[in-house]
Amino acid sequence: MMKAEHRWSLFRVCMAGLAVRGSCWLLLAGALVFAWAAPLLTPWDENPPILQPARAQAAWLYAWLALFTWLPFQAAALGRRLRCEGVLEFFHARGAGPDALCLQLSAAVAVWMLGVMLLACLVCLTVCLPTNPDEARLWLGLVLQQGVLYILVSAPLVLLAAALGTCAGEVIAFLAPVLLLFLGLLAASWLEPLLAGSPSFFHRCTWLVLPHYHLADLSPRLVFKMGPLAHADFLGSLSCLALQGAAISLTGLCVFRTRS
């Protein structure tokens, strides 16, 4: 019992620090406000059936936007602050290993990531739930798949931001995961025809070693109600993202520093 408390003390300290911050709660409130307000800006009055998918799209758009901005920034800032103030060194001296400290630190930010993800799922499963029970079952499967893939992408990136925050400047710690996410999620659609279709061996290898976060973006399936991924395809995407996530997490654990 004492050991468990000892092991998670940094997590509890970080959580207590974050929970008194207004921006954390604004992030969560913003998810609901954005999912409600953003679709109203679209020309839905000419075609009311597009409003419901637009709500699901807005909810997940917000989750991805949070992963581009607030989450890595907060993780990087927290890592930087704790190391500068000697908190990490203190916990290290009390006997906690660096890997455990890194995991606790990133878990404190990942809790808010999970909050955003759960709110996106909540929006999808309440206001956007199809009335036909069979279709609703498929929709539930799709939303769960999207939630799992989102966690697989975001958790390692948050860990990387927190770990880089302890060994490099805040700006670098923020920009590195954002750049990876941009490459994998947005730039992939432009790079794929250039690199994957190229006859050059070097180009094709470059495509393979880029992050493949586009596999985790199931927004087209949500917006156009295309149904969940087949099990084999989902497991394929899951394995690929899990492996890349493991690589990023291991790199994060490597660069984590506790010394002030």
Find the part of the chain contacting other proteins (CB under 8 A) among 41-49, 79-87, 118-126, 127-135.
41-49
Asked if residue 161 binds other proteins (CB under 8 A), the reply is no
Sequence-ordered list of residues with C-beta below 8 angstroms from that of 4, at least 6 positions apart, any chain:
none
Between 154 and 244, CB nearer to other proteins: 244
Judged by CB under 8 A, which of 7, 8, 28, 42 binds other proteins?
Answer: 42
Within 10 angstroms of residue 260's Cβ, the number of other Cβ atoms is: 12
Asked if residue 22 binds other proteins (CB under 8 A), the reply is no
Asked if residue 133 binds other proteins (CB under 8 A), the reply is no
Judged by CB under 8 A, which of 75, 128, 188, 195 binds other proteins?
Answer: 188
Find the part of the chain contacting other proteins (CB under 8 A) among 20-28, 87-95, 130-138, 190-198.
190-198
User: Cα torsion at 21, 24, 27, 33 (round to 10°)?
Assistant: -70
Show the tokens assigned to 11. Answer: 């997590």
Asked if residue 166 binds other proteins (CB under 8 A), the reply is no
**Pair 172, 163: CB distance under 8 Å:** no
Degrees to nearest 5, angle at CA 40 with 38 and 44: 125
Judged by CB under 8 A, which of 22, 43, 133, 199 binds other proteins?
Answer: 43
Residues 224-253, interacting with other proteins (CB under 8 A): 224-225, 229, 232-234, 236-237, 239-241, 243-244, 246-248, 250-251, 253
Residue 218: Cβ-neighbour burial (10 angstroms; 0-12, 13-18, 19+): buried
Sequential DSSP letters for 158-183: HHHHHHHHHHS-HHHHHHHHHHHHII
* Residue 241 backbone dihedrals phi, psi, to 5 degrees: -70, -35
51-68 vs 22-37: helix axis angle to the nearest 10? 150
Residues 167-186, interacting with other proteins (CB under 8 A): 185-186
Asked if residue 35 binds other proteins (CB under 8 A), the reply is no
CB of 194 to other proteins, least distance (A): 12
C-alpha 106/C-alpha 148 separation (Å) is: 18
CB of 35 to other proteins, least distance (A): 12
CB of 17 to other proteins, least distance (A): 26
Does residue 83 sit in helix, strand or coil? helix
C-alpha 43/C-alpha 40 separation (Å) is: 8
Asked if residue 200 binds other proteins (CB under 8 A), the reply is no
Judged by CB under 8 A, which of 61, 127, 151, 183 binds other proteins?
Answer: 61
**Pair 242, 217: CB distance under 8 Å:** no
Enumerate binding residues for other proteins (CB under 8 A): 38-39, 41-51, 53-54, 57-58, 60-61, 64, 185-186, 188-190, 192-193, 205, 208-210, 212, 214-215, 217-220, 222-225, 229, 232-234, 236-237, 239-241, 243-244, 246-248, 250-251, 253-254, 257, 259
